Structure 1
Amino acid sequence: LFLLIRYLLKTHIYTKKLNFFICQILSIVFGFLLRAYCPPRNTNTFKRHIIEISVGFTLIYLCYGSQVSHLLYQAIPSYLMMVLLPPHLAQYGVLLFTMAYLSGAHITRMLSTDLRNSVVDVTLSSIAFNLYDGDILKRGQKTAERPRLLHLLSYLLCYQNSMVGPFVFFSDYLCFIEGREEDQVTTEEDRDLFVSIQCL
């Protein structure tokens, strides 16, 4: 890793790109550490949420600096809308607020375009829409109840996908935190494959 960083510095790779690369490598390392030292169990969910928030916030801060505060500026009002408004209004309120915030940020050049606000827009909007559409969506994707603030922040700052994605549904993320990934597997063949991979 040290030789690779030295090579990147010699080839005049920009600091932002180097920070991004280092944070991606660190997220892989932290993923292994999370699985080894804080395995998914119902008793570990609070600890796993706190680890996700701490590591995710730190990695995002390393890449984007003080601009990480804009993630919270979007998350807190969106969370309040999800809690205070009925689901059929919250879905549109969150979508309009997050899109207006992102548009305003780009118009005034308050933020550079490399911050992950567009990922946050998709994340927050999907939770709000899944709350309303919970009866229509299939069992694995529906969000039956409003998320707690700890769960929402953990989902937004999840270090495994905090930089670029991939986008995951909130219910899938909770399955990961609680160790219920096996519940997502439907066929017996897939279940056997999943169990054999877990044993590695």
Structure 2
Amino acid sequence: MSSPSTERLSDAIQAVLFVADGPLTENAIAEATLADPKSIRQALNLLAERLKNEGGLCLTRIAGGYQLSTKPEYAEECARLLNPPIRRLTRAAVETLAIVAYRQPVTQSQVDALRGVDSSHSIKLLLEKRLIEERGRKPTPGRPLIYGVTDEFLHYFGLADLTDLPPLDSLAVVAFERGDGAHAIAEDHDDRPAHGVEQVDQEAHPSG
């Protein structure tokens, strides 16, 4: 049975997470609540258990922090509220995103070589959606930009960090089968060849 102080701290953490614009680390929660790490973890466990058994929200550990999220069973209702709906990703964008995730830091020319087609449009789209970001320039002739995934990418796929990345083919399946409306990904009926994903799968490993 939890103590009154733990219950109060659990409520305070829920309020802090509600007003936050992104995941909060335990340190950030400590700054807001002035509680010690042990008490915070106890309160987080209590909050997770309470939300699990009631309401439409759940506590999610994501991108190295904690965030309140809607439960999957209410995805359809939440999706109806989004007007207009978030622009969907194409198959080409999903392929490009997978390559960046597993081979980062990576240049566009490296992505192009793996996919066998020009990826500039997909990279632009992923930058606009903040799923990837520029990580500087590669110290080679021409100094091309290099790219890596963002915390938004971790949030999109429900990952705590890059060590949670699934096998590459599983990532594509997750992307195409998500049915939560806001994050749904539509297949792009593009006839261009795109064989790079299979090539990456043979030697790709997530980098921390």
Bigger RCO of structures 1 and 2 (CA < 8 A, at least 6 apart): 1
* Structure label with greater radius of gyration: 2
TM-score, with structure 2 as normaliser: 0.25
TM-score, with structure 1 as normaliser: 0.26
The answer to which structure has the higher helix fraction is: 1
